[in-house]
Structure 1
């Protein structure tokens, strides 16, 4: 397996972890029995569960940039220092973003988001043959 696909697998594991954090936070707030029902009249989430949900949504949205690029590179048999750097940077930027988002630290979170976007740009430009 290429390093890019390995970091894709790590990124999916990260998604699983942040989903479990969100689920745990909701269970702590609402209780497991309430969440096992239809949730039609579920009260609004407190700060941390709401933040955890936004964190999950943000990671899912960003995976839509990363996953296809890594798969295109794999199918095209493109793996170079730029695709590897892009995959590594994306994963670690998303780990940092998740920690910062869940902690509620302001201002620096968008920098980690931007690093993930730059990482995807590296892979995209390598797939196009612009970065070799």
Structure 2
């Protein structure tokens, strides 16, 4: 039987959605690389130096790497807030901001839109900071 504070946590659906977004990143990266290099490359061991060199495949790979850089911090903060509680909901707002910005970031990165993409990334960072502030204060 699981503790009721975990079952009732509003962070759990966001954590689940963040995993879905991780899978989207992985699939997007794989599909764009396969489109460029073919299914034999994708199904093979990928030995050697052959890597996707096209713009979209490269952007999908970099967007995925960028997501994976902040993802551990998000997971740690979300689970910490699940355990510690979030009496004012400020951390929950931060989690939703982080997730929304990370979703918006993907098409902006794939389209090569520079400054707006950076602002959206800063928005996701602000979401993480909001979550952290709840834990610190």
Using the size of structure 1 for normalisation, the TM-score is: 0.90
The 1-side partners of 2:11 and 2:25 are apart by 21
Change (3 A) 1:34 1:100: same
Deviation at 1:86, TM superposition (A): 0.5
Quote the residue 2:3 is aligned against: none
Structure 2 residue ranges without an equivalent (≥5):
1-7
Quote the residue 2:16 is aligned against: 9
Structure 1 residue ranges without an equivalent (≥5):
none
**1:45-66 CA distance string (max 9 Å, x none):** 2111011000100011111221
Deviation at 1:3, TM superposition (A): 2.3
The 1-side partners of 2:9 and 2:94 are apart by 13
SS in 2 for 1:93: helix
Quote the residue 2:73 is aligned against: 65
Using the size of structure 2 for normalisation, the TM-score is: 0.87
SS in 1 for 2:85: coil
**1:78-113 CA distance string (max 9 Å, x none):** 353201110110000101111211121121111111
Deviation at 1:43, TM superposition (A): 4.2
* Alignment root-mean-square deviation, CA: 1.4
Pick aligned residue for 2:82 from 59, 74, 82 = 74
Alignment of 1:1-132 (within 5 A): 1-41=8-48, 42-128=50-136, 130=137
